[in-house]
Amino acid sequence: MKFKKGDKIIWDSGFGYEIGIFLADDKKIMGSYLVDLHTGVVRGKTYKPESEIKKSSTQLLFDLTNKYYKLA
């Protein structure tokens, strides 16, 4: 998936999700994106696997909340 700097993203780790901003497709760490996470225990700039980064949408937030927290 293609991202541009500033895109709203969701990091879906397989154990939960966090919300943030896409910063760069940094080639220093192969297969990872540089993101700025705004939720969760560990916030700020970090590298996350490309396969775990999704474009943010209301439907995706609803689906992940239902998947992990069974609230919906």
- The pLDDT tens digits of the residues spanning 22-68 come to 999 877 778 899 999 999 988 999 999 999 999 999 999 999 999 99
pTM confidence score: 0.87
Burial of 57 (0-12, 13-18, 19+ CB in 10 A): exposed
Separation CA 26–CA 15 (nearest Å)? 24
User: Residue 21: pLDDT band by 50, 70, 90 thresholds?
Assistant: very high
**Mean pLDDT across 8-23:** 96
Instruction: Read off the pLDDT band of 72 (50, 70, 90).
Output: very low
- Give the mean pLDDT of 11-24: 96
Q: What average pLDDT does range 7-11 have in this prediction?
A: 98
